[in-house]
Amino acid sequence: MRLTVTDVTKAFGGTRVLRGASLTVEEGDLAAVLGPSGCGKTTLLRIVAGFESLDSGSVAIGEREVAGLPPERRKVGIVPQEAALFPHLSVARNVGFGLPRGSAERVEECLELVGLAGFGDRMPHQISGGQQQRVALARALAPHPGVVLLDEPFNALDRSLRVSVRDEVRAALKRAGATAVLVTHDQEEALSMADTVAVMREGRIVQEGTPASVYAAPCDLGVATFVGEAVVLAATSDHGVASCLLGDLPQRADGVAGKGRVALRPEQFVLRAPGEGVGGLVERVEFFGHDAAITVALEPGTVIRARTRGDVPHRPGDRVGVTVEGPVLFFPE
């Protein structure tokens, strides 16, 4: 079901944690709430779940206002940071815990949704951490919730496991047709998994959109540097051209003329022979196989990190020239 959070505020003692947070998740979408530690993500999720009351604002699941309802009447499924399965109950009994008797079929259906058909008789300690997290998702999906809330569900997993479990969780949510909210401070996780990203800062959602649109057109410099990498340089804008250390660069959007800053994405830098563009010294080469990240010092205090193809010939100590490709993001002061 569609989730609509409107202008929610919440203070603990004198500390205002949510300052008018609004969020819309369309039916069947997976939305990531992305923000730094302490910005209020978990508090927002707990308010949607009903574990915490709100001071003002509203939360609607479908057409129904749920702010006054206890958690068990909201039709919300929750996947916590750690699977938190009952250790003495089988996988099937964990999944069926909140269901009426005679729900074995629904339990098996949900295990199938998360790719664990046939695992029902195992005990939690007999399956991996990633599988436990999928059981937690099956348990959340079992009562047909209107919305599924996932609070940093991959935190407890090894990095190597995280990527595959992410894919499996996304696939299971899509198979179930669930509307879901994923809270994370990991931008790669948000950008790669979610249909929409809501960037949260200091108790507010400052921008919502598809991952590609937020990356391409961040609403301010804070979002530009938090969602994706960016090198920020002082610049002056005039008639849609931003002038900075790297030259006169066309802006993505024609804005107010005057002083400000440009945010340059790593894939916009082109490394050339010395003499072309602005000169610099290669400091570091990180090789990832399919691509590489090259750190170049342009002048004391100004360092860029360029993303290039993996087969580039650069070595630390090389002199290079740097140019910028494509329109740039300019933010007035």
Q: Does 185 bind ligand ATP (CB under 6 A)?
A: yes
Nearer to ligand ATP among residue 41 and residue 106 (C-beta): 41
Do residues 180 and 149 lie in contact, with contact meaning Cβ atoms separated by under 8 Å? yes
Task: State the Cα–Cα distance between residues 266 and 229, nearest whole angstrom.
Answer: 7
Backbone angles phi and psi of 109, in degrees to 5: -60, -45
From the CB of 83, what's the least distance to ligand ATP, in Å? 18
Q: Does 127 bind ligand ATP (CB under 6 A)?
A: no
Task: State the Cα–Cα distance between residues 154 and 161, nearest whole angstrom.
Answer: 9
Nearer to ligand ATP among residue 52 and residue 318 (C-beta): 52
Question: What is the CB-side half-sphere exposure of residue 36 using CA atoms within 13 A?
Answer: 6
E-strand ranges in the chain read 3-12, 15-25, 30-34, 56-61, 64-65, 76-79, 147-151, 180-184, 196-201, 204-209, 231-238, 241-244, 247-250, 258-264, 269-272, 278-287, 291-299, 302-309, 319-324, 329-332
Query: Which has the closest alpha carbon to 116: 151, 77, 86, 142?
Result: 142
Nearer to ligand ATP among residue 42 and residue 196 (C-beta): 42
Q: Does 40 bind ligand ATP (CB under 6 A)?
A: yes
Q: Does 187 bind ligand ATP (CB under 6 A)?
A: no
Q: Does 48 bind ligand ATP (CB under 6 A)?
A: no
Q: Does 14 bind ligand ATP (CB under 6 A)?
A: no
Q: Which positions from 224 to 263 touch ligand ATP by CB under 6 A, shown as an x/- string?
A: ----------------------------------------
Q: Does 106 bind ligand ATP (CB under 6 A)?
A: no
From the CB of 259, what's the least distance to ligand ATP, in Å? 33
Nearer to ligand ATP among residue 139 and residue 204 (C-beta): 204
Burial label, 256 (beta-carbon count in 10 A; 0-12, 13-18, 19+): exposed
- CA distances to 42, 67, 163, 180 from 151, rounded to whole Å, are 7, 19, 16, 11
Nearer to ligand ATP among residue 138 and residue 147 (C-beta): 147
Q: Which stretch binds ligand ATP (CB under 6 A): 34-42, 87-95, 114-122, 238-246?
A: 34-42
From the CB of 183, what's the least distance to ligand ATP, in Å? 7
Query: Which has the closest alpha carbon to 148: 124, 120, 166, 172?
Result: 172
Burial label, 331 (beta-carbon count in 10 A; 0-12, 13-18, 19+): buried
Q: Which stretch binds ligand ATP (CB under 6 A): 40-48, 124-132, 159-167, 248-256?
A: 40-48
Q: Which stretch binds ligand ATP (CB under 6 A): 35-43, 160-168, 278-286, 304-312?
A: 35-43
Query: Quick one: which of 21, 30, 32, 41 contacts ligand ATP (CB under 6 A)?
Result: 41
Q: Which stretch binds ligand ATP (CB under 6 A): 41-49, 70-78, 262-270, 290-298?
A: 41-49
Residues that bind ligand ATP in the complex, under the rule CB under 6 A: 12, 17, 35, 37-43, 185
